[in-house]
Amino acid sequence: MKKIAFFDAKPYDITSFRRYENEEIKFRFYENKLNPDTMSIAAQYDGVCAFVNDTLNRDVINYLGENGVGVIALRCAGYNNVDLKAAQGKVKIYRVPAYSPHAIAEHTMGMILMLNRKLHRAYIRTRDHNFSLEGLTGFDLYGKTVGIIGTGKIGCCFADVCKGFGMKVFGFDPYKNSNFCGEYCNLDELLSSSDIISLHCPLTKENKHIINSDTISKMRDGVYIINTSRGKLVDTAALIEGIKEGKVGACGLDVYEEETAFFFEDKSDEIILDDNLLRLIAMPNVLVTSHQAFLTKEALDTIAQVTVQNFADYFNSCESKNEVVAK
């Protein structure tokens, strides 16, 4: 039987993964995130299951490899937190490339609808018996232009959702997708033409802070910016300035570039020391969710199923299209 150390475990993870344990693979669930302070927990396990905010740098990977861990299976699509060069020849890395693109696309549209129609503010008002409509005016999505940066499976799903609302869809991606229902253009054209800009791309060295003071200056006044991909795609300081100046009309963030210390955790009894995060949460035209977009029953089931299969492929020496290697 192969034993797997499962880090950053939440109750919903445990419920979904327990269903896929078998006589060959068993999980030991740990609430701790994987990092240099906790990596000793994994010593002598056969494998590690990690998530987006676990630290998989050179030191952690070297330690795991030296202590008998041969495989790390990420229960997510992104792998920007992994030092792939350090892992080469030491530890195999696998991921779940697609679990529910519809879940993230639908969450993205939910954020747009909530921000536009001020549903979060209306909900609070009516609970206080305030039935005024003052300040709750939105706009029709029909006929508006949405710019999608990243047209992989999630970006294409979101484009389909937008088409259902009667929106014009622009897309920017170095790799064109034949399933994309919108019109491709260059980044500057997308920035200047879009009423709403939504990010659906993986984080790379090339696109870190693709939303910055320069790109924001090229956008339409009052633009909506939505990020359900990776926090470091957005320069937070530049975003805050754009909101303060009125250039950015509203913003929806399911990810945040310094989220590791906060997201997925209950911090309600603590003082948050991150001033940028506090400013964003305090703004009435900003909606922050805690990396929640993926969280549907269907997505959790797919993540568990594919992750267990990734471990099985490794232990049975089978080739897998889900293995990630350094380029």
- The burial of 37, by beta-carbon neighbours within 10 Å (0-12 exposed, 13-18 middle, 19 or more buried), is given as exposed
Distance CA 134, CA 258 (A): 35
The Cα–Cα gap between 159 and 178 comes to: 13
How many other C-beta atoms are found inside a 10 Å radius of the C-beta of residue 190?
Answer: 23
Whether residue 291 lies in the annotated active site: yes
- Helix 236-244 / helix 275-282 crossing angle, nearest 10 deg: 40
Catalytic residue of the set 75, 95, 107, 230: 230
Extents of the domains making up the chain = 2-99+297-324, 101-288
**What span, in angstroms and rounded, lies between the C-alpha atoms of 47 and 68?**
8
Q: How much is the pLDDT for 44?
A: 86
pLDDT of residue 201: 95
Report d(CA 316, CA 310) in Å as an integer. Answer: 10
- Catalytic annotation present for 259: yes
What pLDDT score was predicted for residue 221?
98
The yes-or-no answer to whether 2-99+297-324 and 101-288 have a common fold is yes
Per-residue model confidence as pLDDT tens digits over 216-234? 999 999 999 999 999 999 9
Contact, 34 vs 12, CB < 8 A?
Answer: no
Query: pLDDT per residue over 55-107, tens digit each?
Result: 999 999 999 999 999 999 999 998 999 999 999 999 999 999 988 999 999 99
pLDDT at 61: 97
CATH superfamily of 101-288: NAD(P)-binding Rossmann-like Domain (3.40.50.720)
The residue whose two tokens read 């987006």 is: 52
215 CB neighbour count, 10 Å cutoff: 21
Residue-level pLDDT at 304? 97
Catalytic status, residue 279 = no
What does the pLDDT read at residue 79?
92
For the CA atoms of the chain, what is the radius of gyration? 21
Q: Which residues are bridge partners to 71 per DSSP?
A: 47, 92
Task: Please give the model's pTM, rounded to 2 decimal places.
Answer: 0.92
Specify the pLDDT at position 326: 86
Q: What are phi and psi of 184, to 5 degrees?
A: -80, 145
Catalytic residue among 291, 298, 319, 323: 291
- Of residues 95, 259, 265, 319, which has the active-site annotation? 259
- Write out residues in the chain with pLDDT < 70, as ranges: none
pLDDT at 98: 86
Hunting for tokens 């530049």 — which residue is that?
238
Distance CA 253, CA 288 (A): 5
Q: Nearest Cα to 150, choosing from 188, 184, 107?
A: 184
Query: 2-99+297-324: which CATH topology?
Result: Rossmann fold (3.40.50)
